[in-house]
Amino acid sequence: MRVAIVSVTLVLSASTSSAQSDAMSIRDDVPIDTYLALLAQVAPPARDGAEAYMAAFRSRCGRPMRTVELRRAFAEGSGDPTLMAMIRASHEKDAAALQRLGTNISCPRS
């Protein structure tokens, strides 16, 4: 499933980057609904986990998560460990784990 998620991220990064020297820069010009729809096509548990992650972010941080923040959570390194665990919990339909993991969300500093 990780390969599918990375594929979606790479496709979106390539399709949204203009003639920049850094073609892999993650920009905030893909609507969140488009990103989630692509995730659902490739790996439905990834979309479910991402939606749980975004809901926990909204609850803890007091604002919706921007597309670029979600894309970075997927793409940087091996992916945000909390997001990856929430995807796994979504796949396993483990509501208790999703709730517990939601408390691990970090809010960005302003």
Q: Both tokens of residue 16?
A: 């949204």
pLDDT band at 84 (very low <50, low <70, confident <90, very high): very high
Q: How far apart are CA 73 and CA 71, in angstroms?
A: 5
Cβ contact 29:15 at 8 Å: no
Inter-CA distances, 7 with 18, 40, 78, 97, 100, Å: 19, 13, 13, 26, 28
What's the mean per-residue pLDDT of the chain? 81
Q: Both tokens of residue 51?
A: 């939606």
| Domain extents in the chain | 2-102
Query: For position 96, what pLDDT does the model report?
Result: 97
Q: What is the pTM of this model?
A: 0.74
**What does the pLDDT average to over 35-44?**
90
Query: For position 100, what pLDDT does the model report?
Result: 97
